[in-house]
């Protein structure tokens, strides 16, 4: 089962990242998910449990799943069940959950992405929903997508998702009635993100300088501002909801 150095290092400061607690993002996910007090929820890639804790008051029960010991150890799990497991492997029996949520997880699944979608599909009850939240490039312009992909390459091995690619994975793996919602996170603090990223100082500086030196097109797409040396951007996030019929 995977875990690795990457998440051990990231776990230490994960909860200092401003975006994980962005109230607007959490509220938007809750609003489109239409949770009910009867719902049994699986929160995949639950990490330190920020999403699971937001969902808990609105449902019957939440199970958080993550393959990283270090991330799970940083979390608080009162009233939430938690299991160390890889989403691409089988654990529970099928047709069990009313909804499955995965916030900022799927871009980390480099191999077996279809298997992860299929596992979610199998685990859902009939009429159950998969709700995925992911960051995407701030424009569909190919130059901006290329800059975004290049910038993230310095941070981690990950996928660049677009709206059409995410919808494609939902439909390909059997989900119907796929709906897409957008959430713009205003004034995302790049400095806070880098300082708490687990990256060494040289990488942090390189990525920050990439932002400062980005083309006008990239800066405009991000509505980038620099205030007292702090780089602030508006990021685009999608929440995609698909139904198992």
58 touches 34 (CB < 8 A): no
Task: Name the residue nearer to ligand SAM (CB basis): 2 or 226.
Answer: 2
- Dihedral sign (CA 54, 55, 59, 64): negative
- How far separated are the first and last CA of the chain, in Å rounded? 31
Residue 208 Cβ vs ligand SAM, minimum distance, rounded to whole Å: 20
Task: Name the residue nearer to ligand SAM (CB basis): 4 or 215.
Answer: 4
Residue 19: burial class (beta carbons within 10 Å; 0-12, 13-18, 19+)? middle
Return the residue of 88, 162, 191, 223 that touches ligand SAM, per CB under 6 A: 88
Residues 1-30 that bind ligand SAM (CB under 6 A): 7, 20
**Cα dihedral 37, 51, 70, 192 in deg (nearest 10):** -160
Nearest residue to 128 via CA among 41, 238, 212, 70 = 41
* H/E element, 66: strand 61-66
Residue 47 Cβ vs ligand SAM, minimum distance, rounded to whole Å: 3
Task: Name the residue nearer to ligand SAM (CB basis): 92 or 141.
Answer: 92
- 190 sits near ligand SAM (criterion: CB under 6 A): no
Return the residue of 46, 173, 196, 204 that touches ligand SAM, per CB under 6 A: 46
The size of the interface with ligand SAM (CB under 6 A), counted in residues, is 20
198 touches 13 (CB < 8 A): yes
Window 147-186: contact mask with ligand SAM (x via CB under 6 A): ----------------------------------------
Query: Interacting stretch for ligand SAM, rule CB under 6 A, among 98-106, 180-188, 192-200, 232-240?
Result: 98-106
- 108 sits near ligand SAM (criterion: CB under 6 A): yes
Residue 76 Cβ vs ligand SAM, minimum distance, rounded to whole Å: 13
What are the beta bridge partners of residue 241?
A: 131, 179
97 touches 120 (CB < 8 A): no
116 touches 109 (CB < 8 A): yes
Residues 109-138 that bind ligand SAM (CB under 6 A): 109
Residues found near ligand SAM in the complex (CB under 6 A): 7, 20, 45-47, 50-51, 65-68, 71, 86-88, 103-105, 108-109
């Amino acid at each position: 089962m995977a875990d690795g150095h990457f998440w051990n290092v990231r776990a230490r400061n994960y909860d200092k990242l401003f975006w994980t607690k962005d109230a607007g993002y959490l509220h938007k996910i809750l609003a489109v998910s239409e949770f009910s007090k009867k719902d049994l929820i699986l929160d995949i890639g639950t990490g330190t449990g920020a999403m699971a804790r937001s969902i808990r008051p609105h449902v019957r029960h939440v199970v958080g799943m993550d393959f990283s010991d270090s991330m799970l150890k940083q979390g608080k799990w009162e009233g939430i069940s938690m299991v160390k497991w890889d989403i691409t492997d089988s654990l529970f029996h099928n047709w069990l959950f009313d909804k499955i949520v995965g916030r900022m997880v799927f871009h980390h699944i480099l191999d077996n992405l279809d298997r992860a979608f299929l596992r979610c599909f199998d685990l859902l009850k009939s009429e159950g929903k998969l709700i995925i939240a992911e960051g995407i490039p701030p424009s569909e312009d190919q130059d901006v997508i290329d800059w975004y992909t290049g910038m993230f390459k310095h941070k981690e091995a990950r996928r660049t998702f677009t709206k059409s690619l995410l919808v494609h994975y939902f439909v390909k793996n059997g989900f119907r009635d796929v709906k897409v919602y957008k959430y713009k996170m205003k004034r995302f603090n790049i400095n806070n993100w880098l300082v708490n990223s687990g990256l060494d100082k040289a990488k942090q500086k390189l990525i920050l300088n990439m932002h400062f030196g980005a083309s006008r097109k990239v800066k405009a797409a991000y509505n980038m501002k620099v205030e007292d040396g702090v780089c602030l951007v508006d990021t685009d996030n999608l929440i995609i909801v698909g139904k198992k019929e």
